[in-house]
Chain A
Amino acid sequence: MTEKSTPTRRQFVAGAAATAGLAAAGGFVPARVAIAGAAPVKIGILLPYSGTYAKLGEAITNALKLRIEQAGGKLGGRAIEYLAIDSEMSVPKAPTNTNKLIKKEKVDFLVGPVHSGIAQAMAKIVGPRETPIMIVPNAGSNLVTGSLCAPNIFRTSFTNWQPAYPCGKVMADDGHKTCVTIAWKYTAGRQMMDAGTDNFEKHGGKVVQDIQVSFPKVEFQAQLSEIASIKPDAVFAFFAGGGAVKFVKDYAAAGLKDKIPLYGPGFLTEGVSKAQGAAAEGIRTTLHYAANLDNAANGAFRAAYQKAFGKTADVFAVQGYDTGSLLIQAMDAVGGDTGATRDLIAAMEGATIADSPRGAWTMSKAHNPIQDIYLRQVKDSVNEVLGVAAKALQDPATGCKMA
């Protein structure tokens, strides 16, 4: 798909170049020799567009395109060609899909994924190569900017450690001594539970039971009965999407909500608090974004997103939006020359995303955002910010040679 706008003469030329570029991809002329720098920039996207996480893929894609449209629909003066593949949330399919975008389509940038397991599979393929530059707009696997970190892998979202770690202190500060952790049994769940547990125990708390639910199962009655019989002071949970809706509703229906307060990384209530309804009211979570953050960029972004797509923006949209901002900054810095990989990487490393709806953030040496983590509470189905739980929090990037 080639993004088109009103046909001025210049753009007409660019459009013709884009067509030539497409022909080149078909095998007629080598693109870069024919029209150096004027062929469209190829952005490969690997995100879920079906299943439980379809909403996340859609929000990220929408916001990414919105950001680039706002900047004139071009990157470094060049038209853009988007190539999107549905990841189907399948880790086994990840290598094939990644190779298809890299080797067959020869994309300049690779945006994806949502799922931590897929992110690790992609990083193992992209990391050892010089190109393309990969930007992770959600998946938080610590390893991607940890032991698997590489010069051409960036992230605009979070590490699983980041939104979970501050929550441990929040629970301890609220006076809780014991807690049960519960999460889906996959990379993201494990890493978030470990981070939260670590900080909770540093502040004098004790995790009495660690419950794992097979991913992506959404039948929680057995675990809820177990929690009710253990009677901890608090529960620390990670679920997202449909699972988060069901868990929070079941938790309230089991009568646990008022007896054992529920905490977690913000995904527990992000983008789903409306579907959770009264069951989510009052739940406190920590995340790098909140709907009512008081900054100009956030207000403008939410209004624009609502106008363009008729939907309320959430953290996933913010991450897609910031991915767009990062691409724009880097491509402007090199004047659209995607061949200048080293300069592109340098521009991304030095980037400050000042106009991010989540508040300004910078890139760490391991290529992950250094960002504020907010404490939020659900009020009338909106995740309202209560304060900053951790200021400019940087992931420890364990095992990363660049950090």
Chain B
Amino acid sequence: MTTTHCPYCSLQCGMTLELKGRALEVQPWPEFPVNEGALCRKGWTATGLRGHRERLTTPLVRDRATGELRAAGWDEALDLVAGRLRELRDGHGPDTVAVFGGGGLTNEKAYQLGKLARVAIGTSQIDYNGRWCMSSAASAANRAFGIDRGLPFPLADVEHTDVLVLVGSNLAETMPPAARHLDRLRESGGRVVVIDPRRTPTADRADLFLQPVPGTDLALALGLLHLLDAAGAVDEEYVAARTTGFDDVRRAVAAWWPERVERVTGVATAQLRRLCTLLAGAGRVTVLTARGAEQHAQGTDTVLAWIDVALALGMPGREFAGYGCLTGQGNGQGGREHGQKADQLPGYRMIDDPAAREHVARVWGVDPDALPGAGRSAYELLDALGTDDGSRALLVFGSNIVVSAPNATQVTARLAALDLLVVADIVMSETAAMADVVLPVTQWAEETGTMTNLEGRVILRERAVAPPDGVRSDLDVMAGLAERLGSPVPFETDPEAVFAELGRASAGGRADYAGITYERIRDEHGVFWPCPSADHAGTPRMFADAFATPDGRARFVAVDHRGPAEVPDATYPLHLTTGRVLAQYQSGAQTRRVRDLPDDGPFVEMHPMLATRIGAYDGEPVVVTTRRGELKAPARIVSTIRPDTVFVPFHWVGANRLTNDALDPASRMPEFKACACAVGLDTPSLVPRDGCSTNETPVGRVASASERIETPA
């Protein structure tokens, strides 16, 4: 029996794997504290890709004559890739090769990928899909607290807060076992507030639910702080002792009185006052943001506004209170700490910091001056591919760009313009299908490696079974490429050895792993960073005495609401927002292939009032159009969404053909969560269907036990 963690989201639920005959079985691991044995259906069915008929087990190379992919040997494939990369590098310089990573890669792979780019290839052009996940929360936390660890406390702490505010998080569907903490909090008398344009299953567990227009969480925070200040609820002592910059924030929020906020956010003043009263009277308040607040062109400012609320109430650093971000991807946290981000080196060091370059270069055994500088952010990197000043070759590890990038039609065209696309994956994802070379790699349960969960807890996924013949680990692939590219230093392939090297590279950095070993992770149910030495206990809770800023104080940052880059108009009169469904994960490359998970395809969620307006019926196809593309999918008519908003899940090709590529100026996060769209019937109906000529009206579906059946009047 092997203890490990689920292959999907940032909760990284503990589980055990046991080989029974030929079947690998998932069982609970009740001792692991984050999920205490609970799993969602994705976890229970996580072994569904093992032995799957679509599993890639041999390298594939695109045949010049036929244009089709054909099987090839490893040496042939790696020689081919390295040869082409050398040619391009010699002809156009190292930045002509770009590398794209993922937030699902283990720490070891993420670290090695950064090293591969900077040392073996010499390119500055490396970034990863985590830029599209929680990067706005990361840049906000760095500004406010001087450090970015998603949750600066263990998740279970929320059971002991007085009021928990979830801004743009649907954790009951996206990380279901986490919802148990909400229930326990409420059982012990605490309150839960949910802020979301949709009344989600998470909102069904809330004591107070606010339903703002997409892209207005920032204005809501400003209005809340306005009311809190007016009510005298600001913790002046804390503000004076532990923070700087409150005066500017106070001035900014004076301009956001409740009626103005109501007009912008669509949240009635009475609701905002209720929230203010709840928070003003609470001893401990915890604010958590997720993608709903973060994936905006003003995502960083939105998170800062909510951090300002938490700081004004005197919460960060207080026990069972504060601010945190619920990271999305499995290794969204670790993936951003070890060097696959365009501007960072391992240990959350900045690549333009001479001392950081010196330290990391020494660990790597290279000259600091040989390291490239900062490269482009994820979307900018992709958007430049195949252009005069962009890269001509791209190596992709652990990402399905064709499905997950915003404005996907444009990005797909950029991929097609490449001289060379190489994709390492376990199945033929939509992105792999475009590649010139596909490299089959090991998957979860076939390899060992560490992840860093949403709490900053470093955990270990242990190998439980042997990989199928013909596949190699990503670390093997990187070492093979490094060697062929003439790397000045060898690349390790043993994960534990890579982790030890990562620890040395991170030593002294903000995310310091130096004291963490596989053995300690096994013994301690994970170790929280920073953990600078073997005798250091790790850091489950941060900020009790000081923040990670030079003066030890948290920084208030004054921000103002500008709204989404694209707002509804006469042609595109509705808000479009995107998100996840419980049974699927990210681009669906894995979960769509698991037989026991329903793969119903995308749908267009809309309110009965909107459905009546356009004549849509539940289950019948409608077309969503934006300035960038269109999607045809069945209508799903629910009364739980704002009537001026439609929702499309992003696990399938389509949703991201619609989304906007406007970027946050600080985090470079695209605005996935809000753009303007139009919705219409697939084919205009011959029968009058506006609901006036007949007595028919669309009828809501039965989606879950928690959703009520309602028919519009």
A, B bound = no
